[in-house]
Amino acid sequence: MKNIVILISGGGSNMAAIVRTAQAQNWAKQFNAQVSAVISNKADAKGLAFAKEHGIDTAVIDHKAFADQPQPREAFDAALMKEIDQHQPHLVVLAGFMRILTPGFVAHYEGRLINIHPSLLPAFPGLHTHERAIKAGCKFAGATVHRVTAELDHGEILAQAVVPVLPGDTADTLAARVLTQEHLIYPKAVADLLDGGFKDEVQQR
């Protein structure tokens, strides 16, 4: 079985979209694949309850527990890797996982680590993407699924979706519009990777 491990920090709506698509499209039969674990760095991440309800293993590795260590990031990432590797993952999917990962972590999962970022990369890497897109006067915004490299929000672009920025948009209204597209492109990008290839595609709605 190709195991998918999803990392979250919060609501987990992208994770839920992937789990629902995996069930609806029967990825077990189609790709011999399953979402085998959802791991969070926050115990109160809402998405954990959804994962449990769907019979998926969950775990919490609290990054704050490593704050006293000489190298807290490395120590946290080592603990996270240990947890992830129990599932022998084919893919590690970052879905609203709000931690910067160490180069060692990224190298360990090279070629099987992906992320979704709520902007049209390479524009607006980092935080507050929607606010920045509105301030810059962008007419379009969107989301990007990309392979993860040691550089934040870089790496090969696997899928993008575009939405208009509408007059009167706030960061929240734009984020909600982008998120509906994230829920479509992320499961599709995962399925494309499980399918063994990747169709180069720009979705525009």
Q: Which residues bind ligand GRF (CB under 6 A)?
A: 8, 10-14, 95-96, 116-118, 143, 179, 182
Segment holding 143, helix H or strand E = strand 140-147
User: Taking the complex as a whole, how short is the minimal distance between the CB of residue 56 and ligand GRF, in angstroms?
Assistant: 15
User: Taking the complex as a whole, how short is the minimal distance between the CB of residue 17 and ligand GRF, in angstroms?
Assistant: 8
User: Taking the complex as a whole, how short is the minimal distance between the CB of residue 71 and ligand GRF, in angstroms?
Assistant: 25
| Residue whose CB is less far from ligand GRF, 75 or 191 | 191
Return phi, psi of residue 142, to 5°.
170, -160
For the question of residue 117 being annotated catalytic, the response is: yes
Residues 142-177 as b or e (16 or more Cβ within 10 Å = b): bbbbbbbbeeebbbebbbbbebebeeebeeeebbeb
Which of 63, 90, 117, 146 is flagged as catalytic?
117
Residue nearest to ligand GRF (CB): 96
Q: What sign does the dihedral 70-74-77-82 (CA atoms) show?
A: negative
By annotation, the residues acting in catalysis are: 117
